[in-house]
Amino acid sequence: MWGGGKLGSSGGWFLRVLGPGGRNTKAVRHLISSVVYVKNQLSWILQIKPGVFNEYRTMWFKSYRTTFSCLNRIKSFRYRWARLYSTSQTTVDSGEVKTFLALAHKWWDEQGIYAPLHSMNDLRVPFIRDNLLKTIPNHQPGKPLFGMKILDVGCGGGLLTEPLGRLGASVIGIDPVDENIKTAQCHKSFDPVLDKRIEYRVCSLEEIVEETAETFDAVVASEVVEHVIDLETFLQCCCQVLKPSGSLFITTINKTQLSYALGIVFSEQIAGIVPKGTHTWEKFVSPETLESILESNGLSVQTVVGMLYNPFSGYWHWSENTSLNYAAHAVKSGVQEHPMSAEFAFKGETEELQANACTNPAVHEELKK
């Protein structure tokens, strides 16, 4: 077994097998046993058959940064053109569903266990609104988000969905807990305006990926990512349903010792601010991890800002400290070139290299090294 040709963003080694008259197609077909993809790089694994050097005489190794830059362009489409996640795959944790099912009737009790989420609207609604307004040249007074389509993932009883609808947006709220959606439906029915702007569905995000691909101007996942069982799949689905240049808004809890002490021990076990078992520290995610996953899916993180909750006053405020709660805003790449164009460009440059290789006197010099 001979391994060669590690291909990366800075170029790599290019393997070419030359036959008589430069005809090497047959040689490559005989030599290549497999091509494998390894995360963050492409690797070519070739098996040299006995007598190959006698039959094909020479082998040429050369680094071509330009050629392999095409591979980077192909890589950038890896997630967009990957198979969309089907309903057979889920990011929903059945244990979390049971927890929220028992609390479904308490969503709109502003003094109850969801009081911190009601109060959080004072921060997260303006955070979403103001960042989206940067993309709208002219907006209507009183309905600044009019014309925008927003997906509220894990909407619960609609605590964030309704304020976004009141700002003029068309909002779809989804949640895997049927009782949550029933509560949300019931509450919005009291406002005829919201009844027209908001639609609720009982489903997970991955269940609607195919039908809603590149549909939404914004996706909101507020206090959700710390409850899913597969964060990378969840964020990939968020990216897939976003339009090019669309915005993703996330609020969640950092994975630190402080977040364990205050977010779980104090909030759940001592003060009872939230019910016991609501959070699992292992599912918390740091801003660095979140940003890494988002950027690998073609989203550029614009803002990460800390949020602090005062359990005595019941209010939230912004902070430079992200060691507990934080909010993030990311934007999907606006240029979506078809990956086949990159493939054709790579093929063209490869054919040109094949033609030049036949007459290149540097071949034997490279072999001597």
Q: How far apart are CA 136 and CA 128, in angstroms?
A: 13
- For 355, residues 6+ apart whose C-beta sits below 8 A from its C-beta are 22
Q: How far apart are CA 6 and CA 12, in angstroms?
A: 6
- For 186, residues 6+ apart whose C-beta sits below 8 A from its C-beta are none
Strand partners, 174: 153, 201
Look up tokens 């099912």; give the residue: 101
Say if residue 124 carries a ligand binding annotation: yes
Say if residue 227 carries a ligand binding annotation: yes
Q: How far apart are CA 49 and CA 8, in angstroms?
A: 27
Q: How far apart are CA 166 and CA 162, in angstroms?
A: 6
Say if residue 21 carries a ligand binding annotation: no
Say if residue 245 carries a ligand binding annotation: no
Q: How far apart are CA 88 and CA 77, in angstroms?
A: 23
Say if residue 226 carries a ligand binding annotation: yes
Say if residue 223 carries a ligand binding annotation: yes
Report the DSSP pairing between strands 149-153 and 170-175: parallel
Look up tokens 């790599």; give the residue: 12
Say if residue 86 carries a ligand binding annotation: no
Q: How far apart are CA 276 and CA 278, in angstroms?
A: 6
Binding residue ranges for Mg(2+): 223, 226-227
Binding residue ranges: 124, 154, 175, 222-223, 226-227
Binding residue ranges for S-adenosyl-L-methionine: 124, 154, 175, 222
